[in-house]
Structure 1
Amino acid sequence: MTLEQDLTSALATFVAARSAGHPVLVASDFDGVLAPLLDDPSASAPTAAAAAALERLAALPPADVRLALVSGRDLATLAQLSGAPVGTSLVGSHGAEQGHVVAASADAETSDVEGTSSVERHPFALTPDERATLDGVRAGLEAVAAEAEGAWVEDKPSAAVLHTRRAGPGAAERAGDAARAVGARYGAHTMTGKDVVEIAVLDTSKGLALTRLRDELGAAAVLYMGDDVTDERAFEVLAPTDVTVKVGAGETAARFRVASVDEAAQVLATVADLLS
C-alpha cells in the first residue's frame, strides 16, 4: 500500500522536526482509525497492522518520538481495548481523563490492564454539583433510550453517552434530538459524533487535551489522525506545520485524508520507517 506523495513528504518533514529535548508526538484516535467501527463497541480492537506499528513506535527512543491515543472512550476501556504499549500516553473521555501505560508493578497504584502493563492515572474527581448534574443527565438519557429500540446509554466518569448505531434511522434521529435537549436542559456540554450524543459535565475537548499533552512533552511537531467530528477540535488547534489526517469521508479541517483504517496503519508504519 502506497500513501499519496504529499502525505509521505509531510511525514518526512514531521520526523525531521525533532531535536534535542523536543521529540515528535504521534497521536491518534482509536475507533475508526486504529480499529474498525463495530456495532458492538466492546468488541473493538486495533488491526494487526496498527498494533504492529504502535509497537514499533513505542520501541523507539522517547527522545525521538512519543506516542498517544486520544479517544472518547473512558480511560480504562481505552487501555483494555487498545492494548497500547508501555510508554503510550492515554487521553480518555475526550480529554477529561489522562494517564499513561506503565509496566505492571505489584506495589504501584495503577489500574490493571490485561497483560503485563497497567495504566497510571492522573488525578480526577467531580465536584458534588457536577456529580448531581451527571446523575440527572444519565437519567434523562436512559429515558430517551427506553423510547428508541436498539439505543443504549454508556456511563463515563464525567459524561453519559447515548448510542444509536443499532437503532433504526428514524428512531436514531429522534433519539439524538431528544438527547441534545437533555444536554440543553442541564446546561451541560453536548457533543454529537457518529451515532452518538455525548453529554459531559466538564468542558473539555480532544483539542484542549492534545495541546496540553504537546506542552507537557515539549513536542517539536504533532501528527494526529481522527475520523469523527470530535476530532475536528484537534485538527483545528494544531499548527499548519503539523500533520493532520482525516480517516474516511466527510468535511474536515485536516491537511490530509486517507480512506481506511488500513491506510491509517500505513501512516504509522511510514513514520516508524522514517524514524528507524
Structure 2
Amino acid sequence: MPEPTTDQAVVDQVLETLAARPRLLVALDFDGTLAPFADDPSEVGALPGSWAAVLTLQRAKDTEVVLVSGRPLDSLAAVTHAPAEMALVGSHGVEWRVDGHDEAALTEDEQSRVARIGTALDEVGARFPGVVIEHKPAGHGVHTRRVSAEVAAEANAAASAAAHDADPDVLERGGKDILEFAVRHVTKGDAIARLRDLHGADAVFFAGDDVTDEDAFRVLRDGDVGVKVGEGDTLAGYRVDDPAALTDVLKRLARLRAVR
C-alpha cells in the first residue's frame, strides 16, 4: 500500500484542481476529523476554523457538504449544530438527513435484532466497569477509551462472542477505542457512492480518521481527493497529522471554491 502524500505543495496543487470541478461533493467524518476525541462523546465539538471552512463550503456554488459519521443521526445533529440545509448521514450510512428529509426506518425484524444484541451487550458492559455500551438505531457500540488496553481486549472479545451468539448475522467492525455491531450491512463507502449519484458530483473530497473511513476511501475515483487524518494504514492519497492540520486543508479548499 503506497504511503499517502504529506507534501503541502502537492496538496495545494491538488486542491486547486479539485476546486475547479463543476460540481463538488465534500464529505467529512466528524469525530477525530473535524473534532478531536473526548471521553464524553456529547462534549465533542468541531474545531472553530474547520467549522468555519465547512460553512463557507456549504455556501459555495455547486458544492454539497455532507457529514458522514458512525454516530446516530440525532447525536450527530446535536454535537454539530449543523444548519438544517446541511446533509447528515449517521450510523455509517444507515440514517440519512438529506434535502430536509429523514430516512432511517428499520424493519420490525431488524428492530428485534437490535434489541436482542443490545441486551447481550449490556450484560457484557456490566462485567467491565469503565466500558460504555452505546445504543444506536441500527446497532450498538462498545466504547473502551476509559479502560486499559488489556481490559479493552477482554471486553471486546466478550462483546464479540455475546453479539454473535445473540445474532449470527450481526456485522462487526472495529474503530478507534470502539467495537461496533450493526444489523444492516451498510458502509460509509456505500454512502459516498450514493451521495455522488444523488448530487451528480463530478468530484469528491472526503476526509476521515478511522478504520471505517477506509470504506469511503476505497470508492474514490481518479480526480477525487481522500485525506487520512492521523496515523494508520490507509487507501487515502493524502495525510495530515491531526484535526488541527485538517483545518488548514479545509480553509484552503473553501477559499478556492468560494472564488471560482
TM-score (norm 1): 0.87
Alignment of 1:135-174 (within 5 A): 135-174=115-154
* Aligned counterpart for 2:91 among listed residues 93, 109, 113: 93
Q: Which deviates more from structure 2 when the two are superposed, residues 49-58 or residues 81-90?
A: 81-90
Question: What are the superposed Cα offsets for residues 158-191 of structure 1, whole Å, 9 maximum, x if unpaired?
Answer: 1111111112221111111122223333121111
State how far apart, in whole Å, the 2-side matches of 1:133 and 1:67 are.
33
Q: Does 1:14 align with 2:18?
A: yes
Give the letter aligned to residue 148 of structure 2. G
State how far apart, in whole Å, the 2-side matches of 1:175 and 1:3 are.
40
Q: Which runs of 5+ in 1 are unaligned?
A: 102-119
State how far apart, in whole Å, the 2-side matches of 1:206 and 1:182 are.
25
Question: What are the superposed Cα offsets for residues 193-241 of structure 1, whole Å, 9 maximum, x if unpaired?
Answer: 0111111111100000111011000000000000000000000111132
Where 1:56 maps in the other structure, the secondary structure is helix
* Aligned counterpart for 2:182 among listed residues 197, 200, 208: 200
The residue that corresponds to 2:3 in the other structure is none
The residue that corresponds to 2:200 in the other structure is 218
Q: CA offset at residue 146 of structure 1?
A: 1.1
State how far apart, in whole Å, the 1-side matches of 2:217 and 2:45 are.
24
The residue that corresponds to 2:60 in the other structure is 60
* Aligned counterpart for 1:178 among listed residues 155, 158, 161: 158
Give the letter aligned to residue 215 of structure 1. D
Where 2:97 maps in the other structure, the secondary structure is strand
Where 2:173 maps in the other structure, the secondary structure is strand
State how far apart, in whole Å, the 1-side matches of 2:123 and 2:66 are.
36
The residue that corresponds to 1:40 in the other structure is 40
Q: Does 1:231 align with 2:222?
A: no
Q: Which deviates more from structure 2 when the two are superposed, residues 40-49 or residues 175-184?
A: 175-184
Aligned length in residues: 251
State how far apart, in whole Å, the 1-side matches of 2:255 and 2:7 are.
13
The residue that corresponds to 1:4 in the other structure is 8
Where 1:191 maps in the other structure, the secondary structure is strand
State how far apart, in whole Å, the 2-side matches of 1:240 and 1:165 are.
36
Contact 1:75 1:97 in 2 (8 A): yes
Where 1:69 maps in the other structure, the secondary structure is strand
* Aligned counterpart for 1:254 among listed residues 230, 236, 249: 236
Q: Which runs of 5+ in 2 are unaligned?
A: 1-5
State how far apart, in whole Å, the 1-side matches of 2:82 and 2:250 are.
14
The residue that corresponds to 2:24 in the other structure is 24
Report the RMSD for the aligned CA atoms in angstroms.
1.5
Contact 1:25 1:66 in 2 (8 A): yes
Where 2:103 maps in the other structure, the secondary structure is coil
The residue that corresponds to 2:255 in the other structure is 273
Give the letter aligned to residue 87 of structure 2. S
% identical equivalent positions: 41
Q: Tell which has more relative contact order, 1 or 2 (C-alpha 8 A, sep 6+).
A: 2
State how far apart, in whole Å, the 2-side matches of 1:205 and 1:215 are.
16
State how far apart, in whole Å, the 2-side matches of 1:195 and 1:171 are.
12
Give the letter aligned to residue 43 of structure 2. A
Where 2:89 maps in the other structure, the secondary structure is strand
State how far apart, in whole Å, the 2-side matches of 1:47 and 1:204 are.
28
The residue that corresponds to 2:172 in the other structure is 190
Q: 1:99 to 1:126 in 2, by over 3 A?
A: same
Segments ≥4 residues shifted beyond 6 Å: none
Q: Does 1:132 align with 2:123?
A: no
